[in-house]
Structure 1
Amino acid sequence: MKFGPIAIADSVGCIAAHTIRAGATTVKKGALVTAEIAAGLAGAGIGEIVAVRLEPGDVAENEAASRLAARLTGKGIVAEAPFTGRVNMFATTAGVLTVDVAAIDAFNTVDEAITVATLPALKAVVAGELIATVKIIPYAVSETRVEQALSALGPERAIAVAAYRPSKVGVISTILPGLKPSVVDKTMRVMMDRLAPAAAVLSADRRVPHETTPLAESIGVLAKGDSDIIVVFGASAITDRRDVIPQALIEAGGRVEHLGMPVDPGNLLMLGEIDGKPVIGAPGCARSPKENSFDWVLQRHLAGIRVGRADVQRMGVGGLLMEIVSRPQPRAPGQHGPGHIAGIVLAAGRSTRMGADNKLLQELRGKPIVRYAVEAQLEARLDPVLVVTGHQKEAVEAALSDLPIRFVHNPDYASGLAGSVRAGVAALPSEAEAAVISLGDMPNVTSQVIERLAESHLQQPDSLAVVPTLFGHRGNPVLLARPIFPAVSLLTGDRGARRLLDEAGSRVVEVPFEDPAIAIDVDTPEALRALQG
């Protein structure tokens, strides 16, 4: 192919490289110069144009693009007619896009004139969606280069859509005391929305206590039934292979293939299998419709694409899915820590609904319940961390004696929660610009929850308070900013900071979470047994 200035007298049969307007004659870029066009340009005083002349062995851009697209296109894809050296390819069915990444890379290294671009591999697509495009950069390429590009693709089609298969999905939700049925109902509605694009059927909606034995029994029932895929939504996030959901799967006769994902949101996802059926332990963020790791795994299973340990380990690049949905704003440079934010753990209550025992001193997973709230604040780097004591002061202090914390005693603990909040805030150092107030009987609240509250305050320093929400309902812990501290001294009774939040109105930042941990406390022997189970 020759490219450059060509005399008008020699331009017939060439391709115009640029649009030309001269007198009554207009030649568009890429148009074939005819004798009539050449005469019109000459009559307008044009002596030469920049044009392309094809040589023996050249393949015109549209023909080259069409041949290459035909070789790339696999099942579930249709290629449109070529235009200006481009062929767009569209999905003909809903499913998951499969891409031979190595073949595409090899194709794109053949010649700078030959390119193909695709959507990310294993992305969920819908019918009619543009999924790839071939583009020939110049007006022609050599036959040799076209053949080399075809050879680089290998024997298989490099791009295809794995269509969703008719699937039945069985769902099990575990329940803890304090978890409202409406939370599970909303989770199921979100789940149905996820199944809709694949026309998958919900084959079971089982709800069982968050305990190993009843969950194992339910998993076993679904494994023997007609469910193709089993999904477990836990009332508490999976944090270890010895946790309730992994152990229940093993007890049911299944196996845990992998726990954890390099995808955020959705780190705490479990991959398992029983009787040849995939079992997905859903992360807390799967209760939200926002894209997360659960979508990636579920969509692939619905399309018949197996997801194993090695597949998960390769998900890190691209695994940060925009900003995590529970953050109200993106992180700002230099704002990765909580700054001068202190912590207060309320551990003064009498545990009246628990009976004779102090619930905070009851053992859970090898340590007293109260330690979980304190350790979460320490892990979130709050400084200082104050623990407000009252009932059985000496025993509570003994249970926490090895931790770098300060104790504040509330002699008026019998009057209610407000007295402990007042005592904790009054003992804060002057440099504390805010404080996260945690309840000592909420052992499933993690340091990540506290960090997000602190981060939200740093992003919106004018806020008076930051609270977590679960499907629109406020939970704990809460962050109170220094400007609201004077009002704390007016609190009475057992309502804690709730009245202050109501009065703060629009200056309260709500941070949505999908983990029920922010709404579950241990108030009764039944709730404790459920967690211990």
Structure 2
Amino acid sequence: MEIRQLPVAQAVGHILVHHQTGPDGRKVLKKGRVLTGDDVAVLQSLGREAVVVAVLAEDDLPENEAARRLAGVVAGPHLVASKPVGGRVNFFADTPGLLKVNIDGLLAFNDHDGITLATRLHNTVLTPKMQAATLKIIPYAIPRSAVEAAAGTARQFAPLVTVRPFTRRRVVLLTTGSEQARESVVNGFTPALSARMARYGAALVQGPHTTEDVSAIADAIHQAAAQAAEMVIIAGETSIMDRDDIVPQAIRAAGGVVEHFGVPAEPGNLLLLAYLGDLPIVGAPGCARSKKFNVVDRVLPRLVAGERLTRRDLLALGHGGLLRGEDGLEG
């Protein structure tokens, strides 16, 4: 494709590069249109003698065709592509889930000149019809070879973007503390956690309240597992303060393994993650009471989506782990 300034009479069949305005300042011809004989008459009536146009080479693909072809290879399951308009295709989630982005692949794809793919952040929670990404062809046309090369990169890293649906539906909340604190603990944690689970398509089920006792908490974990819990959250009158505190002792007594305690995120340093077989158990920090964005918003959706997070996954939260001021559930 070449950008040329041509006499108006020679511009028919070429793409208008810039908006054209009339004497009143309003647009009479919009950029990006293929000029017709009628358009030439309009330009001549405005006193234009020459106009800047894009002249396509024989092997060029128009922007919308290039966008359409690439849209078919960049997106994985559960993403719906819009019709290409102005060289742009938008992608929308068709199910609740987590956006998964191949970050290295995205960088390699965007390294192809004239082709761009912008996404929301990796692990963003998506709801149906929420936009996840946008593909834009920058010029009005692009060589077929460039499109084929970008498509090859997309296939190499496939999928560049996809949605991992939420799969865990039953999440049991166990609360601990004194009997006098039962109502405060239950009412303190339930509303915000219930709202989060609803966003992920899961239900928060109220489990038993126990004293801070190893055997009692271990029994409550076994009870939750026996009642088909797909994830357990333990929230207490006081947050877990040490890897050998009562709750982690109880998890080990129940046969579970503590994956990690103490994460590089604020609010939420005191989060614990453990597993009883394949059953994830989260020791909730006090900030889980809040609807404001905090560490549980980085951890819970990934667990509900069926990921088995590791110690390394939690350590990686340190990059971007200062979460104060992030948007939460409010509003």
TM-score in same-fold range (> 0.5): yes
Mapping for residues 297-376 of structure 1, pairs under 5 Å = 297-323=299-325
Judging changes above 3 Å, is the alpha-carbon distance between structure 1 residues 246 and 23 closer, same or farther for their aligned structure 2 residues?
same
1:122 aligns to what?
A: 123
Q: Does the Cα contact within 8 Å between 1:73 and 1:157 map onto a contact in 2?
A: yes
Mapping for residues 161-172 of structure 1, pairs under 5 Å = 161-172=163-174
Q: Does the Cα contact within 8 Å between 2:175 and 2:185 map onto a contact in 1?
A: no
1:41 aligns to what?
A: 43
Return the alpha-carbon distance in structure 2 between the equivalents of residues 300 and 157 of structure 1.
18
For residues 174-214 of structure 1, the C-alpha deviation after alignment (integer angstroms, 9 at most, x for no partner) is 11365351342231222222211233233442100112221
* Residues 1:152 and 2:140 are matched in the alignment: no
Mapping for residues 134-533 of structure 1, pairs under 5 Å = 134-153=135-154, 154=156, 156-176=158-178, 179=181, 181-323=183-325
Q: Does the Cα contact within 8 Å between 1:22 and 1:41 map onto a contact in 2?
A: no
Q: Does the Cα contact within 8 Å between 2:185 and 2:237 map onto a contact in 1?
A: no
Q: Does the Cα contact within 8 Å between 2:168 and 2:230 map onto a contact in 1?
A: no
Return the alpha-carbon distance in structure 2 between the equivalents of residues 167 and 114 of structure 1.
39
1:17 aligns to what?
A: 17
User: How far has the Cα of 1:324 moved from its partner?
Assistant: 8.0
User: How far has the Cα of 1:100 moved from its partner?
Assistant: 1.1
Q: Does the Cα contact within 8 Å between 2:168 and 2:231 map onto a contact in 1?
A: no
**1:127 partner SS:** coil
**1:98 partner SS:** strand
Return the alpha-carbon distance in structure 2 between the equivalents of residues 21 and 189 of structure 1.
56
Amino acid at match of 1:123: T
Q: Does the Cα contact within 8 Å between 1:104 and 1:158 map onto a contact in 2?
A: yes
Structure 2 stretches of 5 or more lacking a match?
A: none
Percent of aligned positions that are identical: 36
**2:163 partner SS:** strand
Which protein has greater RCO, CA pairs closer than 8 Å, 6+ apart? 2
For residues 202-254 of structure 1, the C-alpha deviation after alignment (integer angstroms, 9 at most, x for no partner) is 34421001122211221122233311111111222222211111111111110
Return the alpha-carbon distance in structure 2 between the equivalents of residues 256 and 35 of structure 1.
74
User: How far has the Cα of 1:35 moved from its partner?
Assistant: 1.8
Question: Which of 56, 59, 83 is the equivalent residue of 1:54?
Answer: 56
Q: Does the Cα contact within 8 Å between 1:22 and 1:46 map onto a contact in 2?
A: no
Judging changes above 3 Å, is the alpha-carbon distance between structure 1 residues 104 and 49 closer, same or farther for their aligned structure 2 residues?
same
User: How far has the Cα of 1:305 moved from its partner?
Assistant: 2.2
**1:50 partner SS:** strand
Amino acid at match of 2:130: E
Judging changes above 3 Å, is the alpha-carbon distance between structure 1 residues 201 and 23 closer, same or farther for their aligned structure 2 residues?
closer
User: How far has the Cα of 1:298 moved from its partner?
Assistant: 1.3
**1:5 partner SS:** strand
Return the alpha-carbon distance in structure 2 between the equivalents of residues 9 and 76 of structure 1.
48
Q: In terms of Rg, which structure is larger?
A: 1
- The Cα RMSD (Å) is 2.0
